[in-house]
Amino acid sequence: MRPIIEYNNYRRYIQDFYQEKKKMVGFSWRDFARSAKFSSPVFLKLVCDGKSGLSDDAANRVASAMDLAGFEFDYFTALVRFNQAKNDNLRDETFAELK
């Protein structure tokens, strides 16, 4: 899997993480959702499909479920905020964090 800093879309990163994990250990969306403490077994699939987004708390839980720590954890959560920014000012602020 590519390093997280090569991603500009958190949904793509989650999808790639899932695909890699699935190849190695038979991982399922249900397993992923359970490890991130979501009640819906398909929530993360909906996120990857662009049908749902992540709150700050949910982004933290997903990052933890993917075993991200330190810089990678911070980058992932900033990437979520960047991709979901509602206006240009917020997008510019979070882009600066990503740099």
Domain limits, the chain: 4-98
CA distances from residue 49 to 17, 24, 43, 52, 89 in whole angstroms, order as listed: 14, 22, 10, 8, 26
pLDDT tens, 41-88? Answer: 999 999 999 999 999 999 999 999 999 999 999 999 999 999 999 888
Q: Could you tell me the fold of the domain covering 4-98?
A: 434 Repressor (Amino-terminal Domain) (1.10.260)
Give residue 19's pLDDT band: very low, low, confident or very high (50, 70, 90). Answer: very high
The dihedral over CA atoms of 21, 8, 81, 38, expressed in degrees to the nearest 10, equals: -20
Q: Are 71 and 4 in contact (CB under 8 A)?
A: no
